Chains A and B, each alone.
Chain A
Amino acid sequence: MGKKHETPLLDELKKGKWVSFVREIERAAEKSERTEDLLGQVENSYRDKITHWKHGGMAGVRGYGAGLVGRFTEFPEKYPGVKECHSMRVNQTSGFFYNSDILRKIADIAEQHAGGLLNLHGSTGDIQILGVWQAEAEEAFQKCAELGFDLGGGGSDLRTPSCCVGPARCEFANYDTLQICYDMTQAFQDEMHRPSFNYKFKLKFSGCSNDCVAAASRSDMAFIGTWKDKIKINQDEVKNYVKKFNVQKYVLDKCPTKCMLFEGENLVIDDSNCVKCMHCINEMPKALRSGDEKGLSILLGAKAPLVTGPRLGMMLVPFYDVLEDSKNDYEWLKGLISNMWEFWDEYGVSRERIGELMQRVGVVTFLEGIGLEPIPEMVNHPRGNPFIKFTDDED
């Protein structure tokens, strides 16, 4: 079949040995006229060095204010297949576990009601069905629902919470990321489907500070697994590693706080100075393990660019005993989140992320507003000064 649109610039992106998104779109275009037009539209944008998409507008399914992200071409006559090219965000499973049968069925929905393209998983977390038209959105949504999937977040709301694979596959997990992610998703259904915030709000759960879902940089509220007590050391395994590679150079010298040393053949860690960065455990997983008092740290205010540029999250709660709170249906955590939303609702302005609000009103005011006691560990980054001045008679 001849090409509907010439795409010399996109063709460049098929060269080399790597997987090419262009090749994948071309495969889908063999079955979908609208995806042929997608290739033309993208080529046009590359040629003009500017996007020709219009975002937002009126796209959605009954009762929901989120889950279908509106996108329209600026050239509907030239590329009628993408006169509408909405993305349907389907709430992913915790930890992204699927079986092949489910994936095939979702792919069928994408072929029948969209451009035959799926995006699994971008930074939003959701499964995205690309190229949906408004007229078919409801039916596509109902078919997803029949498979047990709901739509995810979008717009000024709680975005679909996401988590790493956690204890399901990873030995480094310090808490059950999958369970808490699922619980929060269920608890805050209204906040996810009915936009009522000043702007978006993201929750991401990583089981350790390797942070495989980029929570610390990509979510307004990040949950990073950690521990309180000492790193567990197996000295025999340390010796085995010493035989295999230069442990001093690649582990001890790269410890960010230089809190490790060898006493003779034994490895010693000054745990009071360990910032739980995971580097040594990643390098010598057979020799080192996180401690037994596991929990997580909560960071607040990260976001990728836009209004006032990117920021990392600030340490809000250094240690949260997630296991204990899970026994009470995460009552404490849900209370904290609700308090923050209340405060943001009251004092935030349009398109202001919660971290920007905290920066604008000041950390002290923010903490008072959400009912959290200040403590010295509330810092921007490890070894930074606390935001709050404590007097001598305070701890």
Chain B
Amino acid sequence: MTDETKKKLEDKIVGLVKEYDGKKRFKPVDIVKEMEKEFADEGLSKDDIKSVLKEIMNDEKLVYGYAGGSFLTLPDNKG
């Protein structure tokens, strides 16, 4: 995965969560599936997407929440 693709993927994931903040809860499993489709032409594997997601979470660009299942959300939503 090139740095450029990685950046694009990161922006896409964070952007999606931002766009739907308060309207839809994204489960990590759904995001990975969605990105697999979206980035099919660039040949990204599930593991590639998971590793980018891991970096996003480590950098706290997004955080995890829980409501009957785990979901991704913005750090501002953390108490």
Contacts and interface: CB of A to CB of B under 8 A. Distances in A.
Contact of A195 (B33, B46, B64, B73): B64
Contacts of B5: none
Contacts of A345: 29, 32-33, 46
Interface range, A side: 20 to 34
Nearest to A197: B29
Contact of A155 (B32, B66, B77): B66
B1 interface: no
Nearest to A198: B29
A190 B54 contact: yes
B41 to A, nearest CB: 21
A145 to B, nearest CB: 15
A286 to B, nearest CB: 50
A57 B67 contact: yes
Interface in B1-57: 27-29, 32-33, 46, 50, 53-54, 57
A63 B62 CA distance: 9
Interface string A152-169: 001111000000000000
A134 B69 contact: no
**What DSSP secondary structure best describes chain B's contact surface?**
mixed
B70 A58 contact: no
A194 B60 contact: no
B50 A190 contact: yes
Interface string A276-313: 00000000000000000000000000000000000000
Contacts of B77: 58
B33 to A, nearest CB: 8
A348 to B, nearest CB: 8
A235 to B, nearest CB: 57
A134 B50 CA distance: 26
Given A65-B70, A156-B70, A195-B70, A60 B63 contact: yes
A383 interface: no
A84 interface: yes
Given A194-B53, A350-B27, A58 B69 contact: no
Contacts of A350: 27, 69
A156 B65 contact: no
A351 B79 contact: no
Contacts of B68: 56, 351
Contacts of A59: 66, 79
A198 B78 CA distance: 23
A63 B60 contact: yes
A196 B27 CA distance: 8
Given A196-B28, A197-B29, A155 B64 contact: yes
Contacts of A154: 66
Contacts of B67: 56-57
A65 B28 contact: yes
Pairs of residues from A and B, 6 with the lowest C-beta to C-beta distance, nearest first: A65-B64, A195-B70, A155-B70, A56-B66, A63-B58, A156-B70
8 contacts: A60-B64, A65-B63, A66-B64, A134-B79, A154-B66, A156-B27, A194-B64, A345-B32
